[in-house]
Amino acid sequence: MKRQIGFIGLGIMGKPMARNLMKKGYSLKVYDIRNEPVEELVKEGAKRGYSPKDVASESEVVITMLPDSPQVKEVVLGKDGIIEGAKEGTILIDMSSIDPNVSKEIAEEVKKKGIIMFDAPVSGGEPKAIEGTLSIMVGGPEEKFEDIKEILTAMGSSVVYIGKVGSGNVVKLANQIIVALNIAAMSEAMVFAAKAGVDPEKVYQSIRGGLAGSAVLDAKFPMIVERNFKPGFRIELHIKDLKNALNMSHQVGVPLFLTTQVYEMMYLLKSKGKGGDDHGGLIKFYEELVGLEVKRQTY
């Protein structure tokens, strides 16, 4: 019999992830501070939760998918939090992208009540959350990993155990550095080519099969050329991830020169009201500098 799962956080990523668990036959009790996504999933067969404590009280496994460290701490350790409702032996899987040190801190607190915690952030954005093909990087007690792997594979096509609690989020930060720098490189190159009078779509078709090709290029350039900045992953959330990466880099003594530059570029766009755009909207930083838009050419 499949375990009873609680799911807290039904945003752009969380809602489709919860749906995929339901499609795989798991019974879910769901909660979000917004009523609308809860209503949607209740109509599809989920049970309504009234607080994190309420969700945890009826769940063997609780999954959280929240914006950042403060929200995770509040939901887990705050008033009416998971820690107040969970029983000894409950498994907590935090799939948010947060500071690895906060993952460790929360894990230590919930351990006092016999709750077992994993950090399991994801990569792939909204499209892969909908498809159930996310990449999931897992930190936590290795001896319990097999107990949750089947649950995670309902949401992802790649589930990799990394190491102790916090290591999942270290990998996610490394991932976010690479993605951010890829988007910046693509943006710089495409604006350069367009300003030089070359059709950016032809640039894309020419280079995508070579060494410059990447998953980022294939996912983001078609959106950019259509001027579609509907968020699969918002600039403001990528800023949060890069800030966490920079904070941790100072702790471990690794300079992140390029990450710092892209962080400031994204921060500038956020200050201009573009923080809610998809992170592919980073191209606007370069476009505004030279006064053009990379878009489909009409002949």
Q: Which residue numbers are catalytic?
A: 172
Q: Calculate the dihedral angle through the C-alpha atoms of 190, 195, 200, 204, rounding to the nearest 10 degrees.
A: -40
Q: Which long-range contacts (CB under 8 A, 24 or more apart) does 169-172 make?
A: 169/97, 169/98, 169/99, 169/100, 169/103, 169/119, 169/121, 169/139, 169/244, 170/100, 170/139, 170/248, 171/121, 171/137, 172/97, 172/121, 172/122, 172/123, 172/137, 172/241
Degrees, nearest 5: CA angle 223-122-146 = 145
CA-CA distance, 65 to 95, in Å (whole number)?
5
Comparing C-alpha atoms, which of 288, 232, 248, 244 is closest to residue 265?
Answer: 288
Cα distance between residue 141 and residue 40, in whole Å: 34
Report the C-alpha gap between 135 and 155 in whole angstroms.
9
Letter for the amino acid at 130?
I
Task: Please tell me the distance from the alpha carbon of residue 183 to that of residue 191, in angstroms, as a whole number.
Answer: 12
